Chains A and B, each alone.
Chain A
Amino acid sequence: MFCEKAMELIRELHHTPEGQLPAFNEDGLRQILEEMKALYEQNQSDVNEAKSDGRSDLIPTIKFRHCSLLRNRRCTVAYLYDRLLRIRALRWEYGSVLPNALRFHMSAEEMEWFNRYKKSLATYMRSLGGEEGLDVTQDMKPPKSLYIEVRCLRDYGEFEVDDGTSVVLKKNSQHFLPRWKCEQLIRQGILEHVLS
């Protein structure tokens, strides 16, 4: 049956929970494009025959193939667009630098889209008042307290806190730090908020 591969791509994403990105199904996409090419060429020849030989009995088949073509296109665009939305969510979740595991699941073109998106977002944020602009990706949750207890999960090195003093973030060390300074590191997995 036509459009099977297209349905497979859709199902693949449908089964993937939000926030996850499966590997880019390059093979699947290629097969769909090939099927579309074949359908189109068959339709071309049938249309010519229908016109020249008056074969109006071919018309239902032509229509059917056309519907399959439209369905293939719709599924393909939906697959690609849904992946873009997932990739976009990654920028907000992980920041500008993506974990390697996720990068391997992205195609080169998706990476390019991501880089352009990042740049566009950065330009927008920089334009918001002040010299450095405003980092809109911070402060994702309403602040409960000024300072929080954090534990360091990985060696990070020196980290500057207010008024010049700095802290050394070594693995397993615990610190009482200003919440807004830690937010980015918590999201990147370097610090862990200790809820006691």
Chain B
Amino acid sequence: MKLLPCSAAKTSSPAVQSNVEDELEMATVRHRPEALELLEAQSKFTKKELQILYRGFKNECPSGVVNEETFKEIYSQFFPQGDSTTYAHFLFNAFDTDHNGAVSFEDFIKGLSILLRGTVQEKLNWAFNLYDINKDGYITKEEMLDIMKAIYDMMGKCTYPVLKEDAPRQHVETFFQKMDKNKDGVVTIDEFIESCQKDENIMRSMQLFENVI
């Protein structure tokens, strides 16, 4: 249950050369976030909430940024029974909006602001962005299958009923039947939002995490 600090380069790669360089790089990366007032204006959180969030963030990542390895480790602490690295990878890409390989506090706040305080439209937009792995505006069956397998991997082996091999694929089929209106094999953002808005369960569950902070 050890949580490694974000800036320590405890990578498992055998190449010594890149390790040394990485270590130097990571050790000198220090990221200071924008001023509190600016963040307050940009996001939908109050000052107090931002303070609490930043204290937690800085405690775990004294250098101010999270890289993918650390992100995966933190996320896997919550799902001890399964393997959450793949899903954490997709999640990391969804949070890392500028794709620089590290999630800073601003990225973190931007994502959380949408998820916790955004409108249903924004949340659905975020979810679409998560599923659209190559960010081309369409969710294909392969992309959805990857996401679904990642989610099922988090369940691990010991489940009831026993996980079958094609469970993710079947789930993807159900999803596409529901979402893909014109049956062209891809789901666009409009189809997605429209279908979700028609489904009561989804609408209700979107409101579930309002009071997380």
B is a partner of A:
no
The residues of B with any CB-CB pair to A shorter than 8 Å are: none
